[in-house]
């Protein structure tokens, strides 16, 4: 489809100019064209794209890119840095009022996910901030919107204030704030009806609710799949009622979510939360960097590389490579390798950073069994020195002893021995084929077979 990642596209451009010794200004221009494509395809607003490309072009024309051996990657890095910067650098906190109750208003277009997000937000505030929320059903227009919020309240066991659909949302909100005071509920979250930003009557209603008690937060709920129009919507809502932050919903889909970038750039309001699923706990704090990678369609490979760089010892990696080539790789090296991988963080986190990993079916639910790694370690620790260097001598008696010593079964020992053999074979083949390619894979050999 049209949605190949930016890195892939840039590589395409790069192979064209690979033969040349130097990268010219025209080449950079070519590359920026690809960047422009990628951003527009990710639904980043055109005006934002233009400004952005201009800024990046200036940086990319700098000498450190031109003279770099890998200009393509340099450009990717600049693009990503700038994107992250544009999206606000770091996460921002929720404002709580010192005077009870804190009032939070949820606003947005129809179908953005306001009611669901209201429930999720209440759950999150209760869990992480120890708040006592009250949900307010102020959507009196859409059929059954009140019932929807009531059902969600029941699921979460969070009180819901509803007065049916016959009185005005402003009055409902007013009574709800009184009710919260009386019941000592410290956070009032008002779910308003979805409305078009051009509907003046309904926008006036929001202004009236706002004037009851100046809300501490007004969250604009935006569907992550929104296209070029996201900017108009955000701007209109911001101008009319003054939003304090944005919640981006439905990010568990396969959209690139360029709307995030546009909104942030145009309104200068931070994205505070992202909705990542249909379950009530699927609301996360927003991380600008991850979003940048996503917009570019390249997974979180860069931070994976950064992690690897800071945690993997280059000297040791070189030694390992040598050992692979000469087939003198032992179980001790294997342990070393595992320790290094472990340093990089939880395995499932690492997996998620791999580009394309989000497309693997069921991976989001896959829990990598870290105890499996512990078991492997135990088995190796139960081997004698000789066994570690020359695993060929491990016969059935030795296997029995190793299994007993490590608290595992003979099958476990057999499996590890087989994996180790396979790995060695594979590595030998690869290093024979292409040293460059081999090196890449070699930094984490056997990672895949560890959690099968």
Partner 1 sequence: MSFFKKLKDKFAGNAEQEKSTEKYKDGLAKTRTGFTSKINDLVAKYRKVDEDFFEELEEVLLQADVGFETVLELMDDLRFEVQRKNVKDTSNVQSVISEKLVEIYQSGDEELNEINFADGLTVILMVGVNGVGKTTTIGKLAHRLKNEGKTVLLAAGDTFRAGAIEQLDVWGKRVGVDVIKQAAGSDPAAVMYDAVRAAKSRGVDVLICDTAGRLQNKVNLMNELQKVHRVISREVPGAPHEVLLALDATTGQNAMIQAQTFKEVTEVTGIVLTKLDGTAKGGIVLAIRSKLKIPVKFVGLGEQMDDLQPFDPAKYVYGLFAEGLDKEDKLEAERADK
Sign of the alpha-carbon dihedral angle for 372, 378, 380, 382: negative
Please tell me the number of Cα atoms within 13 Å of 435 on its side-chain side. 5
Q: Note whether 204 binds partner 1 by CB under 8 A.
A: no
3-state SS of 428-440 is HHHHHHCHHHHHH
Does 228 engage in binding with partner 1 (CB under 8 A)?
Answer: yes
CA–CA distance, 220 with 314 (Å, rounded to integer): 47
Nearest residue (CB) to partner 1, 259 versus 402: 259
Q: Which of 6, 87, 103, 149 binds partner 1 (CB under 8 A)?
A: 149
Contact pick of 135, 233, 302, 351 for partner 1 (by CB under 8 A): 233
Query: What binding mask, one character per residue, do residues 402-441 give for partner 1 by CB under 8 A, x or -?
Result: ----------------------------------------
CB of 37 to partner 1, least distance (A): 6
Judged by CB under 8 A, the chain residues 253 through 272 that form the site for partner 1 are: 253-256, 258-259
The count of C-alpha atoms lying within 13 angstroms of the C-alpha of 319, restricted to the half-sphere facing its C-beta, is: 11
Question: What is the distance between the alpha carbons of residues 197 and 176, in angstroms, rounded to a whole number?
Answer: 25
Residues 6+ apart with CB under 8 A from 66: 22, 23, 28
Stretch that binds partner 1, among 74-82, 120-128, 148-156, 420-428 (CB under 8 A): 148-156
Q: For residue 131, give the DSSP letter.
A: -
**Residue 223 interacting with partner 1 (CB under 8 A):** yes
Number of residues that bind partner 1 (CB under 8 A): 52
Site residues (CB under 8 A) for partner 1, limited to 38-97: 40-43, 45-46
Q: Does 167 bind partner 1 (CB under 8 A)?
A: no
Which residue number, 150 or 289, has a Cβ lying nearer to partner 1?
150
Are 260 and 87 a contacting pair, CB within 8 Å? yes
Inter-residue contact 380 to 334 (CB < 8 Å): yes
Span of 123-131, 177-185, 224-232, 329-337 interacting with partner 1 by CB under 8 A: 224-232
Element (DSSP H or E) covering residue 201: helix 200-210
Q: Kindly state whether residue 110 participates in binding partner 1, applying the rule CB under 8 A.
A: yes
Does 143 help bind partner 1 (rule: CB under 8 A)? Answer: yes
Q: How far apart are CA 217 and CA 118, in angstroms?
A: 13
DSSP one-letter string for 74-93: HHHHHHHHHHHHHTTSS--P
**309's tokens:** 């760089």
Q: Which is nearer to partner 1, 234 or 292 (CB)?
A: 234
Residues of this chain, 24-43, that bind partner 1 according to CB under 8 A: 37, 40-43
Q: Is 252 in the site for partner 1 (CB under 8 A)?
A: yes
- Comparison of 119 and 446: residue with beta carbon closer to partner 1: 119
Residues 6+ apart with CB under 8 A from 67: none
Residues of span 284-323 touching partner 1 by CB under 8 A: none
Q: What is the contact surface with partner 1 in residues (CB under 8 A)?
A: 1-3, 37, 40-43, 45-46, 109-113, 115-116, 142-152, 155, 196-198, 223, 225-230, 232-233, 250, 252-256, 258-259, 278, 361-362
């Amino acid at each position: 489809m049209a949605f190949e990642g930016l890195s892939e596209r840039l590589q395409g451009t790069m192979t064209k100019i690979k033969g040349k010794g130097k990268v010219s200004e025209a080449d950079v221009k070519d590359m920026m064209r690809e960047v422009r494509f990628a951003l527009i395809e990710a639904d980043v607003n055109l005006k934002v794209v233009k400004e952005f490309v201009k800024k990046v072009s200036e940086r990319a024309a700098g000498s450190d890119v031109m003279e770099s051996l890998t200009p393509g990657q340099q450009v990717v890095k600049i693009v990503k840095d700038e994107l992250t910067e544009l999206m606000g650098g770091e996460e921002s906190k929720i404002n709580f009022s010192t005077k009870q109750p804190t009032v939070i208003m949820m606003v947005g277009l129809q179908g953005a996910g306001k009611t669901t997000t209201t429930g999720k937000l209440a759950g999150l505030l209760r869990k992480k901030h120890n708040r006592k929320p009250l949900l307010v059903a102020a959507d009196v227009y859409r059929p059954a919107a009140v019932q929807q919020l009531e059902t969600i309240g029941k699921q979460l066991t969070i009180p819901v204030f509803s007065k049916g659909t016959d009185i005005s949302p402003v009055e409902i909100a007013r009574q709800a704030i009184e009710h919260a005071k009386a019941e000592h509920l410290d956070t009032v979250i008002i779910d308003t009806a979805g409305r078009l930003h051009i509907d003046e009557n309904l926008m006036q209603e929001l202004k009236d609710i706002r004037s009851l008690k100046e809300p501490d937060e007004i969250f604009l709920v935006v569907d992550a799949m929104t296209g070029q129009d996201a900017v108009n919507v955000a701007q209109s809502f911001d101008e009319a009622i003054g939003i304090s932050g944005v919640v981006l919903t439905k990010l568990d889909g396969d959209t690139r979510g360029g709307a995030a970038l546009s909104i942030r750039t145009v309104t200068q309001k931070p994205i505070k939360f992202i909705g990542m699923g249909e379950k009530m706990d699927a609301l996360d704090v927003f991380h600008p960097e991850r979003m940048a990678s996503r917009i570019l369609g390249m997974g979180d490979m860069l931070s994976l590389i950064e992690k690897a760089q800071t945690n993997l010892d280059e000297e040791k990696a070189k030694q390992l490579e040598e050992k692979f080539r000469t087939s003198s790789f032992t179980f001790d090296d294997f342990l070393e390798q595992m320790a290094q991988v472990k340093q990089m963080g939880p395995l499932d986190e690492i997996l998620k950073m791999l580009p394309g990993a989000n497309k693997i079916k069921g991976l989001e639910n896959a829990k990598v069994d870290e105890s499996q790694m512990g078991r492997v370690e135990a088995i190796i620790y139960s081997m004698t020195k000789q066994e570690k260097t020359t695993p060929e001598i491990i016969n059935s008696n030795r296997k029995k002893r190793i299994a007993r010593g490590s608290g595992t079964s003979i099958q476990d020992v057999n499996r590890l021995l087989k994996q180790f053999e396979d790995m060695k074979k594979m590595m030998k083949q690869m290093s024979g084929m292409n040293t460059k390619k081999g090196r890449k894979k070699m930094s984490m050999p056997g990672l895949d077979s560890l959690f099968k």
